[in-house]
Every structure is written in structure tokens, then in C-alpha cells.
Amino acid sequence: MLKNPPVLQAVAFLLLAVFVIPAAALAAGEEPLTIAVLPRALGNPIFLDAFEATQKKAHELGVRLEWVAPFDFSSEAQVEMIENLIRRGVDGILASVNDDEEIHRVFRKALDQGIAVATFDGDSPGSGRLFHIGIDNFRAGFAIGEALVDVLSSRGLAQQELDTMIMTGLREAFHHEERIRGFLAATEGRVNLRIRDIVENEDTVEKSIILLEDYVKHNPDIEVIYFVGGWPFYVPSEALPNFQRWAQAGGIAVGIDLFYDALLLQKEGLIQYLIGQDMTSMGALGLELLVKYIRTGEAPPEFVEVGLEHADESNLDRLLEIHKPWLVK
């Protein structure tokens, strides 16, 4: 059985971090606003930056923050949690979700009861939510596709038919599908990719590692892998022996999500290009905009875009100095 990588142990404390009550609000004897933030999963360290940023912003704004999510992603579990938040009468909800009918239903229920609802990272455009803050996922997929075209062109492989695997979380996740759509749009007609498989890891870190190792073991002839998210990148290369051998034999990998552990894999040559998203801004600015709407009625734009960060050989060392391991934060 795969052991949890060390960085995953860093998220365990989130299970205990139910809410943060600003001291200033308590001292004044006021009842602060209660804002619930729901990442997709406590077991995915990509949300650690958002957690830290929302904590700080909650203290600045004088609001109570509740950070709640299933350990592994489950839309059904999220719906149950949101139902509970509605019963308790929280003031606002900021969540990363799938765009499915049950989310539409529960968001509308919250909105009908006067609870402000917005999304970050994973959007649900059909839900009636107030606004979404995140990256332009189509643009991110397009950018990683363009990066792959450059990599293949530099290796003289642009005209060669290349068997390709795409690893995604869930096909029903709107933001994952947009990243795939952008990637295919950028590569179509410019390189010759034959998409053999789209592998779903159910938005789970541990399962993504198992699936990746099993896939390259049984499909060593696959030539390109596009990772729609950074799920398998939280472990050292020694924990990915099959993927390591695949990369050393000439396999080409590109992906979305940029953090210290992923950069180390890129430094070792297992990944050729990464694009990152600003989870810090999604958390802090998302919370700030939601609170401002509740307090003043001022609605932000329906889509608040945060920028993309690129990592290749030219800036890899600089990024490794900027992005520190989460365990030492």
C-alpha cells in the first residue's frame, strides 16, 4: 500500500482548524460575520496557500472563518456540508466545486436564504453564484499546449505522431474540462498528438500516484503526458520509479500547478513545463470581495481572474528559491 507522502501529513492539521475567530471582534463584543470556505479536499496540499491567506485576511476583516471540506474530493460530501452551513445560517460561502445539478440546487437554496455564495478554483457557472475567482482555465490549458508545441519543436518531434495520455481529476469538473479544451485547441494542427487515454484520478492525490505508476508501467510506449493538475507531484522522484524511468527514456510531460515539490521533479527532468495558479489571491481576495459584498452590497465582476506563472529551464532556479516547501511554512 502506498504510504502518504510527507507533505500530505502537513494537511492533517486542517481537520482541526474548524474556525478562526478574530480577537478584535471578540473584544468588542460583536458577533462577526461567519464565512465558510470549502476547498475541494483537505488531502490536496495545493489549497494550503489559500488556507493561510484566508486565515490572515479573516483577521484583517474581522470575520469568523470556517475551513471545511472532505479529506478526498466528493461532490456529494460537499453538498452535505453546504446543507449544514445553510441550516446554521452562515453569512457567506466561498467554495471550489463541480458544475453539477446538486451543486446548482444547494447553491440556489443558500442564495434564497440570503447567504452570499461565490466560487474559487473550481467554478459552477450554472449555479447562480455571485462571482468566481480563479484562473482562466481555457487560457491555462492553451498556454500549456503552446509550451508543449515549443518543447516538441525543439526536439524535432512536431510532425511525428505521438501517443498521448491526459490525466485529469474528474470529467464533470468544469475547470478540468476547460483546461483540456484549451490544450487541444493549442496543439491542434501544430503537433500530431494521438490521445490514447484520458485517465481520471477522482481528484485524489494518492490515487493519482498509483494510477500514474501503473499506467506508465503497462504503457511504456506512451510518449507525452499532460497533467491537468499537479496531483502526483507531491512526492520525490524515488516514489515514482516507473514515471522516472519513463521520463529518462525520453517521455515528455507538461502540467498545470506549480509548487516546490513539482519544481524539484522538473529540475530532475521528469517534467518539461509547468504552469501555476495563484491560490493565495484566490483565497485572500475571494474572501475580501465576498465580505465587501455582504457588508456594502457592492458586487464584484462575475469573473475575477488571477494570473498564471510559468516554469521552464530559464527561470527554474529562481522559482525554487521563491516557492518554499509547505512543511517549513
Q: What crossing angle do the helices spanning 279-296 and 48-61 adopt, rounded to 10°?
A: 30
| 220-273 pLDDT tens trace | 999 999 999 999 999 999 999 999 999 999 999 999 999 999 999 999 999 999
Pick from 61, 113, 116: which is nearest to 91 by CA? 116
The share of the chain scoring above pLDDT 70, in percent, equals: 90
Task: Look at residue 17 and tell me whether its pLDDT is greater than 90.
Answer: no
Task: Look at residue 276 and tell me whether its pLDDT is greater than 80.
Answer: yes
**In this predicted structure, what is the pLDDT of residue 26?**
46
d(CA 206, CA 168) in angstroms, rounded, equals: 14
Report the pLDDT averaged over residues 6-15.
Answer: 40
| 65-94 pLDDT tens trace | 999 999 999 999 999 999 999 999 999 999
| 205-227 pLDDT tens trace | 999 999 999 999 999 999 999 99
Helical ranges in 6-63 per DSSP H: 6-9, 23-27, 48-61
**In this predicted structure, what is the pLDDT of residue 221?**
97
List strands edge to edge, sheet with 252-256: 192-200, 161-168, 224-227, 252-256, 273-277, 308-311
The hierarchical CATH code for the domain 137-277+312-328 is 3.40.50.2300
Task: Look at residue 11 and tell me whether its pLDDT is greater than 70.
Answer: no
- CB burial of 251-262 (b: ≥16 within 10 Å; e: otherwise) equals bbbbbbbbbbbb
**In this predicted structure, what is the pLDDT of residue 326?**
75
d(CA 173, CA 151) in angstroms, rounded, equals: 28
Which residues, 6+ apart, have CB-to-CB distance to 255 below 8 Å? 144, 226, 227, 228, 229, 230, 233, 262, 271, 273, 274, 275
Q: Model pTM greater than 0.95?
A: no
**In this predicted structure, what is the pLDDT of residue 2?**
45
Report the pLDDT averaged over residues 275-304.
Answer: 97
- The residue extents of the domains of the chain are 6-134+278-298, 137-277+312-328
Domains 6-134+278-298 and 137-277+312-328 share a fold: yes
The hierarchical CATH code for the domain 6-134+278-298 is 3.40.50.2300
**In this predicted structure, what is the pLDDT of residue 327?**
60
Whether 97 contacts 124, CB under 8 Å: yes
Tell me the three cell numbers of residue 242: 516507473
d(CA 256, CA 271) in angstroms, rounded, equals: 11
| 164-219 pLDDT tens trace | 999 999 999 999 999 999 999 999 999 999 999 999 999 999 999 999 999 999 99
pLDDT band at 325 (very low <50, low <70, confident <90, very high): confident
d(CA 269, CA 316) in angstroms, rounded, equals: 11
